Amino acid sequence: MLVRCYRGKLSVWAALCVLVLCWFYIFPVYRLPSDKEIVDEVLRQGQVWQKNQTGIDLYRKLLTECCDPQRMFAVTKENSPMGKVLWYDGEFFHSHTVNNETYALFVQDNPLQLPLKKCAVVGNGGVLRHSGCGRDIDQADFIMRCNLPPLSKEYVKDVGTRTHLVTANPSIIEKRFQNLLWSRKAFVDSMKVYGSSYIYMPAFSMKPGTDPSLRAYYALADSSSNLTMLFANPEFLRTVGKFWKARGVHGRRLSTGLFLVSLALGLCEEVTAYGFWPFSVGLDEQPVSHHYYDNILPYTWFHAMPEEFVQLWHLHKSGTLRMRVGRCPPQDGGS
């Protein structure tokens, strides 16, 4: 009986599955608020913001428990001795064993002077354009930027000039500097904008990213540049990814901005985030470009930017960090 009618059983199961899928489509368990709702929410909140010391302390404690950013955020000689296996956080079962050659490239110990007082994490969102936040940003003690943004004259008013830590994605080196296989002058010259800051590269996250990152180190060292290269610790990146996944960020990978915000929450006493706005419409209903310097959209479904924004907005509402999404208030005086 069972053997004879298996075809009939199969169709029944198939129909049931389709029904369940339809059910979930109509009544989703989890739904991201639409852009419009988020804009409304942000507008309702307005410029009101109250610092919440308990929230700050709580998050610092949570992050220290899960990820230990003070010790683990970079690959150092302390936390990655010779022979340590670094498991790539963006790959399945791929690792790099620290050997003589790579060990020499690591910094001795965490180079940041802790604790940091006022941190600014500058995203590259299009909202920064014409925001006039440059002076605001420059007043912070520690300024973090993402993915080697341009700091040319036309943007200074909006994004500031000082930098203490800037991340660089290996894919940028691959695209903009031909993997540093040919001329390296363009790369070294473009790095002069960042003064004597730290360059934070996820060298051990993706397989194709390792060689360009190491090459960036060699290029900077060859030209005796005063930038310091820090390689992101894959373990730190993985634990931070887990931390946010548990809080409802379902991207394949966190964006660099969120990594930096988590780092800042763990290290700084006061965090302000600028330029985090992943939507195509601004607060004033005007279209906003994706980055403040261009409008090249990223690969879809790689980062879950809106979800990340919602999380950050929760933190903003609870007073743990401050988000700047509109214009910065014009400051009095010339300071």
Partner 1 sequence: VRAPLHFSHAPLLWMLRRRMGYSDPSSGKDLLGNRSLCFIFICAFGLVTLLQQILYGKNYIKSAQQFSRLKGDETGNWTGPVNFSDDGSLKPARNGKKRYLDTYDGAYDYNSTACKELRQEIMDVKVLTMVKTSELFERWRNLQVCKWEQNKVETSNFKMSLSRCCNAPSFLFTTKRNTPAGTKLRYEVDTSGILPITTEIFKMFPDDMPYAKSQYKKCAVIGNGGIIKNSKCGKEIDSADFVFRCNIPPINEKYSADVGTKTDLVTINPSIITERFQKLEKWRRPFYEVLQNYENSSVVLPAFYNTRNTDVSFRVKYMLDDFDSQRGVFFFHPQYLLNVQRFWAVQGVRAKRLSSGLMLVTAALEMCEEVHLYGFWAFPMNPSGIFITHHYYDNVKPRPGFHAMPHEIFNFLHMHTRGIINVHTGQCR
CB contact at 8 A, 86 and 206:
no
Quick check: 52 binds partner 1 (CB under 8 A)?
no
Q: How many CB atoms lie within 10 A of CB 129?
A: 18
Quick check: 222 binds partner 1 (CB under 8 A)?
yes
Q: Rule CB under 8 A: choose which of 39, 56, 128, 188 binds partner 1.
A: 188
Quick check: 183 binds partner 1 (CB under 8 A)?
yes
Please choose, from the candidates 195, 164, 160, 169, the residue with its C-alpha nearest in 3D space to the C-alpha of residue 264.
164
* Stretch near partner 1 under the rule CB under 8 A, chosen from 145-153, 198-206, 216-224, 239-247: 216-224
Phi/psi of residue 257, each to 5°?
A: -60, -45
Quick check: 87 binds partner 1 (CB under 8 A)?
no
Sheet holding 268-274, edge to edge: 228-231, 198-201, 165-167, 142-145, 116-122, 268-274, 322-324
* Stretch near partner 1 under the rule CB under 8 A, chosen from 122-130, 200-208, 217-225, 268-276: 217-225
Quick check: 181 binds partner 1 (CB under 8 A)?
yes
Maximum CA extent, the chain: 89
CB contact at 8 A, 85 and 96:
yes
Q: Rule CB under 8 A: choose which of 144, 173, 214, 323 binds partner 1.
A: 214
CB of 180 to partner 1, least distance (A): 8
Asked if omega into 115 is within 30° of 0 (cis), the reply is: yes
In the bound state with partner 1, the residue whose beta carbon lies nearer, of 16 and 181, is 181
CB of 215 to partner 1, least distance (A): 7
Q: How many CB atoms lie within 10 A of CB 36?
A: 11
List of residues contacting partner 1 (CB under 8 A): 181-185, 188, 211, 214-215, 218-219, 221-223
